[in-house]
Structure 1
Amino acid sequence: MGRNILASSLQNASFSIIFQIFCRCITFAINAFIVRNVGRDVLGITNVRLLLLESTLLFLSKEAIFRAALSSKHNKQCNWAQLINQLWITVPVCFVLSIPCLYVWLNWLSTVDDYYYVQYRFGCYAIAFACVIELTAEPPIFISQVFCFVKLKVIMDTAHIFIRSCVFITIVLWNKNITIYAFGIAQIISAVTIIVGNYAFFYFYIPRLLRYRNELKRVDDKYELRKTFGNVYENMEDFPFNSIKDMVPGVLPNSNSPFNSDLQTLVFSFAKQGVLKQVLTEGEKYVMSISPVLTFSEQATYDVVNNMGSLAARFIFRPIEDSSYFYFTQTIARDVTLSAQNRDKVKEASLVLSYVCKTVTSIGLLGFVFGQSYSGTVLLLYGGMDFVEGGLPEVLLRWHCLAIVLLALNGITEGYMFATNTSKEIDTYNYYMAFFSMAFLMLSYQLTNWIGPVGFILANCSNMGFRISYSLYYIRNQYKEIGENPLRSFLPGPLFLSTLIGCGFICKISETYCRSMLYHVLVGALCTGTSLLTWSFENRQLLRAGLTRYRERKTSLTGETTIG
């Protein structure tokens, strides 16, 4: 397609970061309201138990299929009809998975108090129903990502979280005793929003695109066409859909088999890996739910601190990881050695990988250093004196700041590995993932029994350390054959690290001796600004390259018709 994959990936990351900030602010406000007014037990049930059910169903149902479909660009034998059929498989898969999951959630996991059980049961059924119907929107969501409809994704994600939050808050304000009912109802309504919004966009967009194509055949004045049709992408001749009916399985013409065998093989490889990755991602919640090591109140405390400690991951790391994965899948072919691919693209991918690793690691180190001095301040402002009483939340958050550094590097390196692995390499890594998963679960259970909730964080750090080591080994070996090494300069420089250490000592002294919270926060802001300026100076070449990319993209947007 005539589009700039790197520019679209960067734009997607930028918009996603903004959306994540908006989303997390709303979620944090709701959680703070529940902690202060409803109770921690309810928060533990909704944010740990019910959201774990949603995460399990959605991840296992669609992650492997979606990732494999994104990689199909390099498979010339895979057509759009086969991709649409593949994406619709997520709906029956989710329905089938929901049956055993609901049985486990209602009968096998640690018991819920009788006072909340009826609401909890409704919440489980509501989550399962919302997941099944939400997956009917996977085809338009996939199409919008492949054709780089970045703004559509941001608008729909924002509408999804906004409507869900409004419905939830409205019901809770009306009656605080039905908070779990409100949670389930809000999930269903937000799923309907995703479905209607995505299909409605293409319902109105496709006829407009068809009219544009017809005019393009008759008129050579593209300026006049842009005035008439606005931001319709002029290189969309390969857009295969003539109506939203084409997004239903079996409608697009297809002379081949309904499903592509190579794509199926890749899906099964990702599926085996997905189960293990889900255990690694949500392992502590599974341990909490299966074994009574923590009460629902303690689970809520851990979840709040975990979410707060994961702000950087949710705001910045995850959007960058998703956009980087998309960029690498479109730039590097899976089943072709790097020496046989386009040298310029491979070199660009190497530079992007190095720069992204350096950037996210620097952000992780900032969070770790300043988190040691400002964890108590943030938690006090968030949950009040009752929440921080005893000191457990502050200890958890400080330890979680250590996990941020590892989380930053693991997301990018493992994302690159998944984007460029062959099916055989993915299967090989699955064995390692199985070992990591078992080690993580055993460490989580044992360390939690020994030292409490901090054990979850230490087990997670050990797990990420193993995964990072394997990813770095893979990257180094892959680029060895062409004489490139993206790992040569993927860590922050000495000037930034020295400044960060000095600022960390200053903030610790401020926390100990400064009685005013305002002065303490001002000291932190000054040290953060100093650290950022140092990083900018040390990485001025990277910033210049980013600015050049931005200017080139702005120039291309003013000189050509681009996506809407």
Structure 2
Amino acid sequence: MSRNLLKSSVENASFSIIFQVLFRCLTFVINAWVLRHVGHAVIGIMNVRLLLLESSILFLSREPFLRACLGHKNGPTWPQVINQMWLTLPISVVFSVLFLYVWLHVLSLGHPEYATQYAFGCWSVAISCVIELASASVALVAQIFCFVKLRVALDTVHILVRTVIFLAILLYDTNKALIAFSVAQVFSALTITFSYYVFFHWYIKKLNQYRRTKDAKFEKHFQYMEDFPFKSIKEFLPQKHGQIETLLDAQLCTLTVSFAKQGFVKQLLTEGEKYVMSVSPVLSFSEQATYDVVNNLGSLAARFIFRPIEESGYFYFTQMIDRDIEIKEQEESKVSESCTVLRQLCKIVTSIGLIVLVFGQSYARTLLLLYGGEGFVGSGLPVLLMRCHCLAVILLAINGVTECYAFATMASRQLDRYNYLMVFFSVSFLLLSYVLTNLLGPVGFILSNCINMLARIFHSTYFIKNKFKDTAHQPLEGLIIGKVFGGALIGAGLICKVSEIRVSPYSQILHVLGGSVVLVMVMGAWAYENWELLEFVYDKYVTKKRGDHLKSKDE
């Protein structure tokens, strides 16, 4: 393809980040409103049970085919690829029937008053998945040929349609929340499927016109699409002509089966907590809803701060360190610089995690009170979960940076072994979650996650320490905080806890303002101890950008 794939990938990542932020802000506001007007049990049924059904059907039906077909270059023809993607439809029907039986007859509901709405919801989610997969071939083409703005626009429309319909029905009758959720799922799936076909019908018509006329006014839009192989919207449908052995590509089928095996494990590990919640009879839907809300709020730092740091760090370390060469045999300047960067990243994420841990103990109730109201925090369970989750945040931060370095610098054989070890960690996490949840309730999920993170941190730090054992570099020193910052954190924790006990019952505003002042003092202590790091960042980026700007003006 003559189009710029790198540029399209960067655009896709940028749009995805912006879309995620906007989507999270929207769902944050909606969920806060729903918490105040809908029963917690209903929220648990929607956010855990029904969304898990959707995730299970869509991921297992689509992911193996998508990953296999996205990587196709030579061999399969486009009709074979389209036929392969259309297999997702009958497979989704099979999974829908299987999971519907499990969701309706095996997994207990425990709320007979919601039985009718729940059954309607399960059927609606399954139907919406089948409808959405009717556009799987078109969505694949849009991704391969870099229709980035189209995909972002349709994802936005998908979310907006679902949100508007859900809120419209809910405002009419708050007792029909599950019905509102179900109807919104079906209509949003219809919208995105219909929109894909309408757009490509219009696009192919205009492209064919440009090919005939070479009209200059269309050149901007179609000059890099000469290799677009489709001449009609009908070519997105299954191809019936030809011999049976040519309808599908054998190599592509084999690759799909391989991805399907991985997909089952990946889905189990990704949604492991929700599967345990659904199977375990210990957690009620109200407790599931509480855990889901707290988990989403507590994961904001991981999504918006730690994850970008990990992704950028992974790319940097892969460029600086060679996987299959001993560290002492590599270029010393690169090794030294990468070691410094790792130490500073460890220091930054550890500091952020400790701030979250300290202030979270005194402001968890305030945050949840603002988010869900007095009725949500009244039981005390959400506050306990949030405080425990603050410990998980710091472990998540440390694990993210150390593991990203390990993944980026492990030799190929080490990486293969670690993939099996990750499966062991994940399966152990599921078993531990089941045991601790039965003993401790929702807190068991967080504790099992903390234990899992500690095990992974131990493995990653052991790898890093072993890698630098014959050198003078000590990158893990970044995990040790300074005395000034540590003392400031201890003082801040005591002040904020006193404020929570003495001030918070009378004025949440004063409690928050006092905490803000203390936070500024803590950050000042950190800046004092890490002034060299701040100067380095300023000289490296701010001064450089200013110089580039002046240089461009002179030119």
TM-score bracket for the superposition, by shorter chain length: 0.7 to 0.9
Matched residue SS, 2:281: coil
How far, CA to CA, are the matches of 1:545 and 1:69 in structure 2? 45
1:283 maps to what in 2?
272
- Residue in structure 1 matching 2:110, options 112, 129, 137: 112
**Any conservation in 1 of the 2:68–2:255 contact (CA below 8 Å)?**
yes
Residues 200 and 407 (structure 1 numbering): CA distance in 2 closer, same or farther, change over 3 Å?
Answer: farther
In the TM superposition, what is the alpha-carbon distance from 1:12 to its structure 2 partner? 1.7
1:377 partner letter: T
1:161 maps to what in 2?
159
- Residue in structure 2 matching 1:508, options 480, 493, 517: 493
How far, CA to CA, are the matches of 2:79 and 2:168 in structure 1? 42
**Any conservation in 2 of the 1:367–1:404 contact (CA below 8 Å)?**
yes
Deviates more, 1:453-462 or 1:299-308: 453-462
- Residue in structure 2 matching 1:366, options 352, 357, 364: 352
Residues 409 and 518 (structure 1 numbering): CA distance in 2 closer, same or farther, change over 3 Å?
Answer: closer
How far, CA to CA, are the matches of 1:357 and 1:86 in structure 2? 47
2:370 maps to what in 1?
381
1:302 aligns with 2:291: yes
1:71 aligns with 2:71: yes
How far, CA to CA, are the matches of 1:421 and 1:135 in structure 2? 39
**Any conservation in 2 of the 1:362–1:492 contact (CA below 8 Å)?**
no
Matched residue SS, 1:103: helix
1:369 partner letter: I
**Any conservation in 1 of the 2:492–2:522 contact (CA below 8 Å)?**
no
Matched residue SS, 1:449: helix
**Any conservation in 1 of the 2:53–2:99 contact (CA below 8 Å)?**
yes
- Superposed CA deviations along residues 425-472 of structure 1, whole A, max 9, x for unmatched, are 999888556534431221001112333312212323444566788899
- Residue in structure 2 matching 1:249, options 238, 247, 250: 238
Residues 502 and 302 (structure 1 numbering): CA distance in 2 closer, same or farther, change over 3 Å?
Answer: same
2:334 maps to what in 1?
none
Note the residue ranges of structure 2 that are not aligned, 5 or more in a row: 326-336, 468-472, 504-509
1:40 maps to what in 2?
40
2:228 partner letter: F
**Any conservation in 2 of the 1:317–1:360 contact (CA below 8 Å)?**
no
1:161 partner letter: I
In the TM superposition, what is the alpha-carbon distance from 1:270 to its structure 2 partner? 2.1
1:267 maps to what in 2?
256
- Superposed CA deviations along residues 72-109 of structure 1, whole A, max 9, x for unmatched, are 3xx42233333222222211111101111111111111
Question: TM-score normalised to the size of structure 2?
Answer: 0.75
2:21 maps to what in 1?
21
Deviates more, 1:292-301 or 1:360-369: 360-369
Q: Which gives a bigger RCO, structure 1 or 2 (Cα 8 Å, sep 6+)?
A: 1
In the TM superposition, what is the alpha-carbon distance from 1:116 to its structure 2 partner? 0.6
How far, CA to CA, are the matches of 1:473 and 1:240 in structure 2? 52
How far, CA to CA, are the matches of 2:479 and 2:170 in structure 1? 51
> Which residues of 2 match residues 76-155 of structure 1 at below 5 A?
76-155=74-153
Superposed CA RMSD in Å reads 4.8
In the TM superposition, what is the alpha-carbon distance from 1:366 to its structure 2 partner? 3.2
How far, CA to CA, are the matches of 2:80 and 2:414 in structure 1? 24
In the TM superposition, what is the alpha-carbon distance from 1:296 to its structure 2 partner? 1.2
1:221 maps to what in 2?
none
Matched residue SS, 1:152: helix
Matched residue SS, 1:284: helix
In the TM superposition, what is the alpha-carbon distance from 1:65 to its structure 2 partner? 1.8
1:345 maps to what in 2?
none
**Any conservation in 1 of the 2:280–2:438 contact (CA below 8 Å)?**
no
1:211 aligns with 2:236: no
How far, CA to CA, are the matches of 2:350 and 2:54 in structure 1? 28
1:454 maps to what in 2?
443
- Residue in structure 1 matching 2:511, options 517, 530, 554: 517
1:108 partner letter: V
In the TM superposition, what is the alpha-carbon distance from 1:182 to its structure 2 partner? 1.0
How far, CA to CA, are the matches of 1:76 and 1:242 in structure 2? 21
- Residue in structure 2 matching 1:240, options 229, 232, 253: 229
**Any conservation in 2 of the 1:440–1:463 contact (CA below 8 Å)?**
yes
Residues 492 and 238 (structure 1 numbering): CA distance in 2 closer, same or farther, change over 3 Å?
Answer: farther
Deviates more, 1:503-512 or 1:313-322: 313-322
Q: Which has the larger radius of gyration?
A: 2
How far, CA to CA, are the matches of 1:239 and 1:355 in structure 2? 44
Residues 359 and 494 (structure 1 numbering): CA distance in 2 closer, same or farther, change over 3 Å?
Answer: closer
In the TM superposition, what is the alpha-carbon distance from 1:194 to its structure 2 partner? 1.2
How far, CA to CA, are the matches of 1:375 and 1:30 in structure 2? 20
How far, CA to CA, are the matches of 1:273 and 1:16 in structure 2? 25
How far, CA to CA, are the matches of 1:271 and 1:506 in structure 2? 53
Residues 509 and 473 (structure 1 numbering): CA distance in 2 closer, same or farther, change over 3 Å?
Answer: closer
How far, CA to CA, are the matches of 1:448 and 1:280 in structure 2? 17
Residues 211 and 268 (structure 1 numbering): CA distance in 2 closer, same or farther, change over 3 Å?
Answer: same
Deviates more, 1:44-53 or 1:136-145: 136-145
- Superposed CA deviations along residues 116-137 of structure 1, whole A, max 9, x for unmatched, are 1011111000010001111112
Residues 399 and 97 (structure 1 numbering): CA distance in 2 closer, same or farther, change over 3 Å?
Answer: same
How far, CA to CA, are the matches of 1:496 and 1:252 in structure 2? 68
- Superposed CA deviations along residues 330-350 of structure 1, whole A, max 9, x for unmatched, are x99xxxx999xxxxxxxxxxx
How far, CA to CA, are the matches of 1:165 and 1:474 in structure 2? 46
Identity %: 46
**Any conservation in 2 of the 1:305–1:396 contact (CA below 8 Å)?**
yes
In the TM superposition, what is the alpha-carbon distance from 1:139 to its structure 2 partner? 1.9
In the TM superposition, what is the alpha-carbon distance from 1:521 to its structure 2 partner? 5.8
- Superposed CA deviations along residues 44-85 of structure 1, whole A, max 9, x for unmatched, are 11111111111111111112221222233xx42233333222
Question: TM-score normalised to the size of structure 1?
Answer: 0.74
**Any conservation in 2 of the 1:137–1:195 contact (CA below 8 Å)?**
yes
2:20 partner letter: Q
- Superposed CA deviations along residues 355-377 of structure 1, whole A, max 9, x for unmatched, are 99998996796366335414333
How far, CA to CA, are the matches of 2:341 and 2:210 in structure 1? 39
2:183 maps to what in 1?
185
Matched residue SS, 2:135: helix
Deviates more, 1:298-307 or 1:18-27: 18-27
How far, CA to CA, are the matches of 1:302 and 1:153 in structure 2? 32
2:227 partner letter: D
How far, CA to CA, are the matches of 2:464 and 2:144 in structure 1? 26
**Any conservation in 2 of the 1:324–1:415 contact (CA below 8 Å)?**
yes
In the TM superposition, what is the alpha-carbon distance from 1:473 to its structure 2 partner? 11
> Which residues of 2 match residues 389-404 of structure 1 at below 5 A?
389-404=378-393
In the TM superposition, what is the alpha-carbon distance from 1:261 to its structure 2 partner? 3.2
Deviates more, 1:46-55 or 1:385-394: 385-394
2:332 maps to what in 1?
none
2:275 partner letter: Y
2:2 maps to what in 1?
2
1:272 partner letter: K
